[in-house]
Structure 1
Amino acid sequence: MSEAIAVELDPLKMKRNTLEDQLGSLVTDPGVYRFKDEKGIVIYVGKAKNLKKRVSSYFNRTHTDPKTAALVRKVVSLNTVVTATEKEALILESSLITRHKPRYNIILKDDKRYPSLRINLHDDWPALEIVRRIEKDGALYFGPYTSSSAVHATVKFINRHFKLRKCKSSTLNSRSRPCLNHQMGLCLAPCCLDVSRDAYMEMVAQVVLFLKGRAPELVANLRKEMMRCASEEQFEAAAELRDRLFAVEKTLEKQVVVSTDMADRDVMDICMQGPAVCITLMQVRGGVLLGSRSYHLLETIAGPEEVAEHFVCQYYDKHAAPAEVLISHRFDAEEAVREHLRETAGRRVSVLFPSRGEKAKLMEMARKNGERRLAEIISGADADRKVLEKLMGRLGMDRLPMRIESYDNSNISGNDPVAGMVVFENGRPKKSDYRTFRMKADTRSDDYAAMEEVLARRFADSEKREPLPDLLMVDGGKGQLNVAMSVLEHLGLDGAFSVIGIAKMREEAGETQDKIYLPGRSNPVNMGTQPDLLLFLQRMRDEVHRFAITFQRRVRGKRSVSSKLDGIAGVGKKRKAMLLKHFGGVTAIKDASVEALGDLPGITPEIAHAIKDALR
């Protein structure tokens, strides 16, 4: 009887019954579906014009594609959201992918590491600035650019030939005289001089034309304005416009014209080889090729059509779509995508799939770039995998070290103790998973206690410890390795993954290379015959060392700028700055009388006494 009850209450069977019930209750309306694994984690998000037909197709047949088969095996439950139209399903799907970041979906990485240029036309005196994040704040953004040097070269050119203000908004109208930029002829100095706003905004419009790739139009405008100034005998203004015209014409000579219709368009090619995919995006503005970028994934269950659809939706949620978008592969929801882009851009956007003519030649250019880039990516991934396979064998691991975590402590003479954690996935740094730790306990003179605290905080919470590493490396040799093993054993993670320690060589002891230690083994692992493995681990050790030191300097820097005036009731940033400026330093403030302090504006007798008491 007890055995029958145990079988009846088997959790896996209950989940399967739940999945079967959910499949049986599917409707034929459009909507979005989410697949979940046994832990309730969303592993895939999809949309469908007919939910019942689309979702059932995953479970009603045997999949030849191993990735899709692996996905189906992990699905234990699902839920659906019915929408009124396919377009609404498209928007909801993109939102849910961004929120859940499912393992099996195409996820476009954030562009925050790429610089963009920003001009806010709503400011009284718009300025050009370099930013790392594109916001929906009504400002004009140009980019993102893959090359920081190209961005700074562009800004340098604009600063030299267009005299926009360089100061920040917070300092505008606060200067009594122009700064050095004005004296060098690089700024009109609207912060303190009487500058015509119409003339300034005309210059801003010229900068916008230049950044939009409308250089021919800008040249025509500059030539017309130059001739007008010359005819009105405004020779200095005409000479300035002439120099600006020559500079823009010189940049035109270096630009690559790829289309004769001078249109704005993005060209997207989807190149796949097995489960790996490379998405190439070429930006053409005014017929001129501004640049090319690529996105890649080494593993995906999606075909090129689904990749194209997901990429378009995610990319243009963050960037303004041009008049035309050329795509290499058709997808089912192309009409819904057109409507979505039209609404987000606020104007008509054409989504085309060219097969001949000039536009097809652009697609061919993007395809060749994509094929070359994908070959480089696959070659690099193969080399990384070979290193990981050799590392697995050398360390006697039972699985490939796809995720490696490395830890290191940092302090200055025992002060401001911190630690850093870096993560390598598939042999490459995964900076989004890097973590820093500020020691909560008093570990100033005890590196072992610091490592114990860090590892306990990383792995103590069973709900937040995922994902677990395949390999954990601590910097410090056998001592830190023993600390790590003790912590993991206490947390019930003994044997859950491999652990190693790395120690620097001691030249005075005749050692010729760094040492790698394994638990329960007194002698280091012999890495002499495979120096590439030691080099890989050293590179990871150096990365966590750099990361921890950088964080420690930042913590120490914040502490060093503190003042004895901080925390005094009634003394904020402005009064603190006023006191320091008037007296020249904290010592002089300490020596000043209560009456001298009270003579300053805003310093009441009560605040003056509080200052004296705090500094006594």
Structure 2
Amino acid sequence: MTGAGGPAGPTGPTAPAPPAFDGKAFVRGLSTAPGVYRMYGADDGVLYVGKAGALKKRVASYFNASPKNARTAAMLSQVARMEVTVTRTEAEALLLENQLIKSLKPRYNVLLRDDKSYPYLLLTREDWPRVALHRGPQSVPGRYYGPYPGVLAVRDTLNLLHKLFKLRSCEDSVFRNRTRPCLQYQIGRCSAPCVGLVDADDYAAAVRRVRLFLEGHSDDLLTELGAAMEAAATRLDFEEAARLRDILASLRSMQARQYVDGRAADLDVLAIATQGPHACVLLLAFRDGRNFGTRAFFPKTNGEEDPAEVLEAFVAQYYTAHSPPREIVLDRAIADVAVLEEAFALNAGHRVVVKTSVRGERAGYLDLARRNAESSLAAQLGSQAAQAARAESLRELLGLPEPAKRIECFDISHTMGEATVASQVVFDAEGPVRGQYRRYNIAGIEPGDDYAAMHQALTRRFKRAAGNPDAVLPDLLLIDGGAGQVAQANAVLAELGIDGGITIVGVAKGEARKPGDETLLLPDGRELKPGAASPGLQLVQQVRDEAHRFAITGHRGRRQKARSTSRLEDIPGIGPRRRAALLKHFGGLGGLRAAGVEEIARVEGVNLALAGRIYATLHGLDAPGTA
């Protein structure tokens, strides 16, 4: 390592300013070998880390007379010293550069910012290996496969592996203490090695096949399974042959659906969208022909606005930290592709190709990644800014002193008075606060009396706040309904003596119930029709629609539960024990409804006459023997 312009000495009120860094003098001492350079500020903090195929040529470019952009000029004005590390190859320089960027977090580098651990598949290394999802430090002995773009992709793969190869998924503490097979064995997703129901050699063969599957050797796996199926048939073990046949069929079916360009794809597709200093890199991943979905990253650009440079920095850092696939497709050309490919190959142990010009299906995937990157960036930038703009518009619309920090909305849902449910949703400055949503099952009112339902729901919500100075109250209370529902809200707050500056606004639908035609009923009696273009009304619609959705979901669940339980108990001769026996025998009300009278009569305690009454009730028919 060579260096110049060492750390500045102690300074004080009388200390002279440190001398400016002489970049041209520093360059004269450099070689043309590849390596990594680091720029330091006066406080000895790292400003920038870069790589170079020829250190002398690359570093000299910073200190020549050519114009520099504002970002580079600002960085160079702060340089107090530089250090370089010479490497054997440019690929080694790339790997070292990214290790240093990750550890030093230089101020002017593009930084990959990701605070979530990636999900992996773990195949443990023990006598009876298990396969499971893994996050965090890779401290458990075994083979890790990934990273996957999201946890759903891992769960889909796990589901397939357990179904086809039946490896255990349980923790060792459970595995060592089992005395009989668990439910996973009963449903055909585990071979129950915990209680010795599988031979060690057979289990080892299943582990080897899982490894082939996860490492992308599908053709070898299919060949092995085909040979095993033929061997089983030769020794007249037709049950085993049929099982292997089904596994082969599943794997071939999956390949037929998910191969890309007629062969098993092992590639990542990346596209970048930028807006000023903001960027989004969208990753679309395929492994062994299976689409593992997308994942959006939002790297910190530190003022860099060239999308190609941001993408290059992202690709270099991401794939030196994670094993790259055999093919990487990018939506634009970047520098140093050959160096990246060499470095990735060193890291992965296999050849890696980086492409920027593709056709066919890959071009379609690239277009999909581009559109998703633009959409993700727009959503990221728009969510907070748009929410704030709508809140400000609503403040002006309602004449509030400041934007509402907490909005609550209530809605009522029922079907002709049946299973009435009230919903309460909460929004703050960031949007919905789903952890504070509440549902109220309404009881003790006349069916269809929405006013009484609203009165009961609001009373239950606010009664605990009465007399409690620390109670959390909304700034704005939205009521889905007209003047009658708003009157109920006013009455409840008056009854409970709550006067916390709550603004109550009714949201009445228009005659055609068309979005944008809503009328807002204000506390002073005024009625406003802001129109569909009003951002304030759009916020009200968002909150009201969420309350409506939440109420309907709760109502449907309550109604279905009521219909699936009480209808049976309403039949003379059916009590809780017989109802439980019927539902257990047929696996639920759907299975019971699909059964005939004779099948129902086979349930213990149910004779033919009772079976006839059950069948008639479930199908809306007259019961036998009734007029």
1:310 corresponding residue in structure 2: 313
The equivalent of 1:373 in structure 2 is: 373
Name the counterpart of 1:346: 349
1:158 is the counterpart of 2:161? yes
In the superposition, the TM-score normalised over structure 1's length comes to 0.55
| CA apart distance, 1:127 | 0.9
1:98 equivalenced with 2:102 (yes/no): yes
The count of aligned residue pairs is: 409
Q: How big is each residue's C-alpha offset from its partner over 1:262-283, in whole Å with a ceiling of 9 and x where there is no partner?
A: 3533333444454343333333
Tell whether 2:26 aligns with 1:33: no
Deviation of 1:193 after TM superposition, in Å, equals 1.3
Q: Please give the alpha-carbon distance, in whole angstroms, between the structure 2 residues aligned to 1:504 and 1:11.
A: 58
Encode CA deviations 1:395-424: one digit per residue, 9 max, x unaligned. Answer: 9xxxxxxxxxxxxxxxxxxxxxxxxxxxxx
Aligned with 1:511 (options 497, 500, 507): 500
Paired letter, 1:24: A
Cα contact 2:113–2:300 (8 A) shared by 1 = no
Match of 2:294 among 283, 292, 295: 292
Matched-pair contact (CA < 8 Å) for 2:308–2:332: yes
Residue 563 of structure 2 corresponds to: none
- SS of equivalent to 1:293: strand
1:147-194 Cα offsets, whole Å, 9 max, x none, are 434433432333233221233235555544444433544322323417
2:323 to 303, 320, 323: 320
1:201 aligned counterpart, secondary structure: helix
1:405-416 aligned at under 5 Å gives the runs: none
The answer (yes or no) to whether the contact 1:266–1:326 under 8 Å persists in 2 is yes
AA partner of residue 285 (structure 1): R
Q: CA deviation at 1:344?
A: 1.9
Distance in 2, matches of 1:331 and 1:116, equals 29
Asked whether the 8 Å contact 1:28–1:50 carries over to 2, the reply is no
CA distance in 2 between counterparts of 1:158 and 1:509 reads 58
* Cα contact 1:294–1:370 (8 A) shared by 2: no
Describe the shift of the 1:12–1:257 C-alpha distance in structure 2 as closer, same or farther (beyond 3 A).
Answer: farther
In 1, Cα distance between equivalents of 2:56 and 2:195: 67
**1:208 maps onto 2:223 in alignment:** no
Deviation at 1:223, TM superposition (A): 4.0
- Equivalent residue for 2:145, pick from 107, 132, 142: 142
CA spacing shift, 1:188–1:319, aligned 2, 3 Å: same
Q: Secondary structure at the match of 1:280?
A: strand
Q: What is the correspondence of 1:440-459 to structure 2 with a 5 Å cutoff?
A: none
Kindly indicate whether the alpha-carbon contact (under 8 Å) linking 2:337 and 2:354 is maintained by their aligned counterparts in 1: no
Letter in 2 for 1:143: G
Q: SS at 1:33's partner residue?
A: strand
Q: Is the 8 A contact 1:213 1:288 kept in 2?
A: no
The alignment status of 1:83 with 2:86, answered yes or no, reads: yes
Q: Label 1:82 to 1:222 Cα distance change in 2 as closer, same or farther (>3 A).
A: closer
What does residue 235 of structure 1 align with? 238
Amino acid in the other structure paired with 2:377 = I
- Is 1:107 matched with 2:108? no
Separation in structure 2 between the aligned mates of residue 125 and residue 198 of structure 1, nearest angstrom: 11
Query: Which residue number corresponds to residue 339 of structure 2?
Result: 336
Q: Separation in 2 of the partners of 1:390 and 1:105?
A: 35
Look up the equivalent residue of 1:123 and give its one-letter code: E
- Compute the displacement of 1:71 (Å): 3.8
SS of the residue corresponding to residue 165 of structure 1 reads: coil
1:189 to 178, 188, 192: 192
Query: Is the 2:255–2:264 Cα contact (8 Å) retained in structure 1?
Result: no
Per-residue deviation at 1:512?
A: 4.6
Classify the secondary structure of the residue corresponding to 2:315: helix
The 3 A distance-change label for structure 1 pair 89 and 157 is closer
Are 2:304 and 2:310, in contact at CA under 8 Å, matched by a contact in 1?
no
What value does the CA root-mean-square deviation take over the aligned residues? 4.5
Distance 2:431 2:500 in 1: 29
1:343/1:428 CA distance change after superposition, 3 Å = farther
Change (3 A) 1:231 1:265: same
Residue 142 of structure 1 and its aligned partner are, at CA, apart by 3.1
Is residue 166–residue 188 contact of structure 2 (8 Å, CA) maintained in 1? yes
Gaps of 5+ in 2: 1-10, 396-428, 433-468, 476-492, 504-533, 544-627
Q: Distance in 1 between matches of 2:202 and 2:189?
A: 15
Cα offset, 1:284, TM superposition: 3.1
Determine the structure 1 residue equivalent to 2:283. Answer: 281
Task: Provide the residue aligned with 2:136 in structure 1.
Answer: 133
The alpha-carbon distance between structure 1 residues 296 and 110, as it changes in their structure 2 partners (threshold 3 A), is closer
- State the 1:339 CA deviation: 2.9
Q: What residue is the counterpart of 2:270 in the other structure? A: 268
| CA contact 2:324–2:348 (8 Å) conserved in 1 | yes
Q: Which amino acid aligns with 1:222?
A: L
Q: Which of the two has higher C-alpha Rg?
A: 2
Corresponding residue for residue 597 of structure 2: none
> Are 1:115 and 1:145, in contact at CA under 8 Å, matched by a contact in 2?
yes
1:172 and 1:288 map into 2 onto residues whose CA distance is 31
Distance 1:355 1:65 in 2: 29
What letter matches 1:312 in structure 2?
V
Whole-Å Cα distance in 2 between the matches of residues 138 and 264 of structure 1? 26
CA contact 2:328–2:353 (8 Å) conserved in 1: yes
Aligned to 1:448: none
Q: Is the 8 Å Cα contact of residues 268 and 285 (structure 2) preserved in structure 1? A: yes
- How far 1:99 sits from its partner (Å)? 1.0
The C-alpha deviation readout for 1:105-157, integer Å capped at 9, x for no partner, is 2223447444221113x322221111113638774333333443443343233
2:320 alignment partner, SS class: coil
Q: 1:362 to 1:243 in 2, by over 3 A?
A: closer
Give the letter aligned to residue 230 of structure 1. A
- Which whole-Å CA distance do the structure 2 matches of 1:511 and 1:214 have between them? 67
- 1:228-277: per-residue Cα shift (whole Å, max 9, x none)? 21221112222332343444455446x33322243533333444454343
Q: Distance in 1 between the 2:15 and 2:279 partners?
A: 34
- Report the residue type matching 2:315 in the other structure: V
Matched position secondary structure for 1:244? helix
Q: Which amino acid aligns with 1:320?
A: S
Distance (Å, rounded) in 2 between the aligned partners of 1:100 and 1:388? 36
CA distance in structure 2 between the aligned counterparts of 1:113 and 1:22, rounded to whole angstroms: 40
Show the counterpart of 1:475. none
Shift in alpha-carbon separation, 1:160–1:272, aligned structure 2, 3 A: same
Q: Who is 2:562 aligned against? A: none
> TM-score w.r.t. structure 2 length?
0.54
SS in structure 2 of the partner of residue 25 of structure 1? helix
- List per-residue Cα deviations over 1:424-471 (Å, max 9, x = no partner): xx9899xxxxxxxxxxxxxxxxxxxxxxxxxxxxxxxxxxxxxxxxxx
Q: Could you tell me whether the CA contact under 8 Å between 2:309 and 2:334 is conserved in 1? A: yes
Secondary structure in structure 2 of the residue aligned to 1:105: coil
The CA distance in 2 between the partners of 1:391 and 1:20, in whole Å, is 51
Contact 2:268 2:328 in 1 (8 A): yes
The offset of 1:35, in angstroms, is 3.6
Partner of 2:25: 24
- The change in CA–CA distance for 1:241 and 1:351 in structure 2 (over 3 A counts) is closer
Contact preservation (8 Å) 1:256, 1:288: yes
Distance 2:243 2:119 in 1: 30
Give SS of 1:32's match: strand
SS for the counterpart of 1:167 is coil
- SS of corresponding position for 2:194: coil
